[in-house]
Chain A
Amino acid sequence: MLKYILRRLASSLLVLWVATIGVFLMVAFSGDPLFTLKMNPTTPPKTILIREHQLFLDRPLPWRYWHWFDGLLHGNLGLDMSNVPVRPQLFEHMSVTLRMVVLAFFLAVVIAVSLGVLAALRRGGIIDRGITFATFFFLATPVFVTGLFLKFYVAIPLDKYFGHQVLSTSGAVSPYASGSFIHRLPDYFAHMTLPTITLILATFSSWTIYQRSSILETMNLDHVMLARSKGIKPRRVLMRHILRNALIPVTTVLALDFAGLLGGAVITETVYSWNGLGRWFLQGANNQDLNITLAYLLFTATLVILFNLLADIAYGILDPRIRYR
């Protein structure tokens, strides 16, 4: 097992290194950071030259990559366009985004697995059809439509009805919140509810569909039939013989979709004005701020690769045959 994990880890690190090159090239070719400055006819040519020198734009591409990569290895992500270090900004926004994404991920997994099992067990019935329709509906709804709908037609009427803010529609925390963590808990709750629900609705559908068909496939396998005919209780058959096997393909899908969840977070943060990584990245990309864009892309790439690695390891634990391939 250890050998298997080490082998996967080594290849993940290699992919990550290649990804740094790919990401760097993409950002380098995606536009000119000094575009607005150059478009302004009153900018003295000397300013442009100085800015180019400060941002290393006058150096060759390999040198710039190496400079950035070397900084990266020392934990330094460089400065943004206004000469503020990127690393503290990344960590500050990360805590905001992860609060939403991690909670939404776990809740969505629980919901998807339970709904998938329920739909498969009641196959063809009214519950199954209801769940199938709901998954299709939410799969077809763009994240921003779900978010805006909840914001304008759930939160605002609710707040009006109660006469005070029950669910907040903008920001991750209220600016006046003070006191200890316990005191601020209702405030966190008011701000987190809607964005988390939005993210869950955006992600649970495809997992539910997948979980359902995975259960249906496993249900008809010989070992399940044997377990049933031995007289094992249906509940135990479901938990030990069906679910355990049916979860194997689902774990991979979950890991691969984590990337999509981060994409969804960009939209959710925009809709609910959360000052998280997504909005930080959007602004950075709009300003062609190289180091901010690079830091965000590297962050997502690292998470995606990490989750793939975890899925591979989980796969190895759940299905021992895979380890020896």
Chain B
Amino acid sequence: MSILRKKGRNGERIETQWSIAMRRFRKDKMAMTGIAVFLFILIVALIQTTVDPTGWKTLSTDFYQSPSWHHPFGTSDTGLDLFSACLKGALQDLIVALIVSSMSMVIGTAVGAIAGYFGGLLDATLMRFVDLLLVVPLLTILIVMSNLFQNASNSPLLIALLIGFLSWTYISRLVRAEFLALRERPFVEASIALGASSWRVITRHLIPNAIGTIMVNTTLTVSGAILLESTLSYLGLGIVPPAVSLGMLVQEGQGAATTSPWQFLFPAGLLLTIVLCVFAIGDGMQTAFDPRNARRKK
């Protein structure tokens, strides 16, 4: 992709915003730790679910077992191996987050780009619509809308689509703001003068320049999506059985939090670790793309 790496006329590498940011990103200890832990969890989860594909829904006769070699996270009061269940739940949460963040990225960038580039009435209409979506808290909208598929069998996909359709507003505002500033720059005027179409200006010149904002906020959307989805699942309104998610496991384990704490601590801890990793990655990207405006100043 031309956004990611550009070769010069003689094959030498040309520094792009992306390559400079990535070099800076690789030096960020916190972000690299985040990526390492995140990948570790992901790989263990993938191995566990391939080695033992039904472990997360198989009930054994080992009730209330505290953590051991055989059951690293212990078992629940129904004899569920929590190690398999937590990892399957984590994987499920990540799939949801991936769908949500891709949708937010695409819709948010498209709406923000159109509003910011064309301006005028189109911009006003789109942004008033975004304002309207922000009037009621997202969690509240999701609680109301979750009624639509209370008995659906494929709850993870439906919940992901629903969150995805509602959480692009933030990215769209930021992309719009970026485009408003970018479109006044001389290189945009130059390419229009050379006969470039609006489509070409947006995809070839403006989006590559706004890639930092888009990537950083897509990463932040991942953590937001995990938090929203697990909260809904905790309330029993998001991912519902037969699927499994970390929020659901916390909800099931909370009653045993004082008698067999592993039932609550492992799903909650795993959820917290994953979100922390994504935060660290997102924050590292923010610092890498925009060192002047970083949240964590050096």
Chain A residues proximal to chain B, CB less than 8 Å:
15, 18-19, 22-23, 26-27, 30-31, 123-124, 132, 136-137, 139-145, 148-149, 151-153, 156, 209, 213, 216, 256, 259-260, 262-263, 266-267, 270, 281-282, 285-286, 288, 293, 296-297, 300-301, 304-305
A281 and B272 form a contact (CB under 8 A):
no
In the bound assembly, the distance between CA atoms of A141 and B136 in angstroms comes to 22
In the complex, what distance in Å separates the CA atom of A15 from the CA atom of B129? 10
Chain A residues whose C-beta falls within 8 Å of the C-beta of B257 in the assembled complex? 148, 151-153
The 28 sampled A-B contact pairs (Cβ below 8 Å) are A15-B131, A19-B135, A22-B132, A26-B141, A27-B144, A31-B148, A31-B150, A136-B280, A137-B276, A140-B275, A141-B272, A142-B247, A143-B231, A144-B234, A145-B250, A145-B268, A145-B272, A213-B295, A259-B135, A263-B137, A263-B139, A266-B140, A267-B231, A281-B140, A288-B147, A301-B135, A304-B134, A304-B137
Chain A CB within 8 A of B289 CB? no
Nearest Cβ in chain A — how far from B170, in angstroms?
11
With contact pairs A19-B135, A300-B136 given, residues A123 and B297 touching in the complex (Cβ less than 8 Å): yes
| B271 touches A (CB below 8 Å) | yes
**A143 and B141 alpha carbons, distance in the complex (Å):** 18
A sample of 6 more A-B contacts (CB under 8 A), given A30-B144, A301-B135, is A26-B144, A144-B250, A148-B254, A262-B137, A281-B143, A282-B143
Q: A31-B147, A281-B140 are known contacts. Are A152 and B135 too (CB-CB below 8 A)?
A: no
Q: Which 7 pairs, one residue from A and one from B, show the smallest C-beta to C-beta distance?
A: A31-B147, A263-B139, A152-B257, A140-B275, A263-B137, A259-B137, A140-B276
Q: How far is the CB of B85 from chain A (nearest CB, A)?
A: 17
Contacts of B182 in A (CB 8 A): none
The chain A residue with its CB closest to the CB of B147 is A31
B140, A148: Cβ atoms under 8 Å? no
Instruction: Give the shortest distance, in Å, between B266 (CB) and chain A (any CB).
Output: 12
Note all chain B residues with C-beta closer than 8 A to A18: 132
Q: Are B258 and A152 in contact (CB under 8 A)?
A: yes
Interface residues of B in 262-289 (CB under 8 A from A): 264, 268, 271-272, 275-276, 279-280, 283
Give the interface residue-count category, chain B.
35 or more
Residues of B within 8 Å of A19, CB to CB, are 132, 135-136
Distance to closest chain B CB from A23 (angstroms): 7
Would you call B296 and A132 a contact (CB within 8 A)? yes
Which chain B residues lie closer than 8 Å to A266 at the CB level?
A: 139-140, 143
Q: Tell me if A30 and B231 are in contact (CB < 8 A).
A: no
A142 and B147 form a contact (CB under 8 A):
no
Interface set of B (CB-CB < 8 Å, partner A): 131-132, 134-141, 143-148, 150, 223, 227, 230-231, 234-235, 247, 250, 254, 257-258, 261, 264, 268, 271-272, 275-276, 279-280, 283, 293, 295-298
Rounded to whole Å, the gap between the CB of B129 and the closest CB of chain A is 10
Q: How far apart sit A226 and B59, CA to CA, in the bound complex (Å)?
A: 71
C-alpha gap A286/B140 in the complex (Å): 12
* List of A residues within 8 angstroms of B280 by Cβ: 136
The DSSP consensus for interface residues of chain A is helix
Using CB atoms, name the residue of chain B closest to A297: B136
Min CB distance, B182 to chain A, in Å? 22
Whole-angstrom distance between the Cβ of B213 and the nearest chain A Cβ: 16
Chain A residues within 8 Å of B298, by CB: 124
Q: Which residue of B lies closest to A141 (CB)?
A: B272
With a CB–CB cut-off of 8 A, which chain B residues contact A282? 143, 235
Q: Are B279 and A301 in contact (CB under 8 A)?
A: no
Known A148-B268, A260-B137; contact A136-B279, beta-carbon cutoff 8 A: yes
| Alpha-carbon distance between A142 and B145 when the two chains are bound, in angstroms | 21
Q: Residue on A with the closest CB to B234?
A: A144
Q: Evaluate whether A293 and B144 lie within 8 angstroms (CB atoms) in the complex, with A18-B132, A148-B257 already known.
A: yes
Residues in A whose Cβ lies below 8 Å from that of B297: 123, 213, 216
A136 vs B295: C-alpha distance in the bound complex, in angstroms? 11
Given A136-B279, A140-B279, A156-B258, is A23 in contact with B136 using a C-beta cutoff of 8 Å?
Answer: yes
Shortest beta-carbon distance, A265 to chain B, in Å?
Answer: 10
Within the complex, what minimum Cβ distance (angstroms) separates A170 from chain B? Answer: 13
Distance (whole angstroms) from the CB of A90 to the closest CB of chain B: 15
Q: What are the residues of chain A within 8 A of B271 when measuring CB–CB?
A: 142, 145
CA distance A272 to B139 in the complex (A): 19
Interface pair A285/B144, CB less than 8 Å apart: yes
Q: Which residue of B lies closest to A23 (CB)?
A: B136
Tell me the smallest distance from the CB of B35 to a CB of chain A, in Å: 15
Residues of B within 8 A of A262 (CB): 137, 140
Q: Is the CB of B279 within 8 A of A30?
A: no
CB <8 Å contact, B227 and A142: yes
Complexed CA–CA distance, A266 and B144 (Å): 13
For A136, list chain B residues within 8 Å (CB): 276, 279-280, 283
How far does the alpha carbon of A213 sit from the alpha carbon of B283 in the complex, in Å? Answer: 14
Shortest beta-carbon distance from A165 to chain B in Å: 15
Q: Which residues of A contact B235 (CB under 8 A)?
A: 267, 270, 282
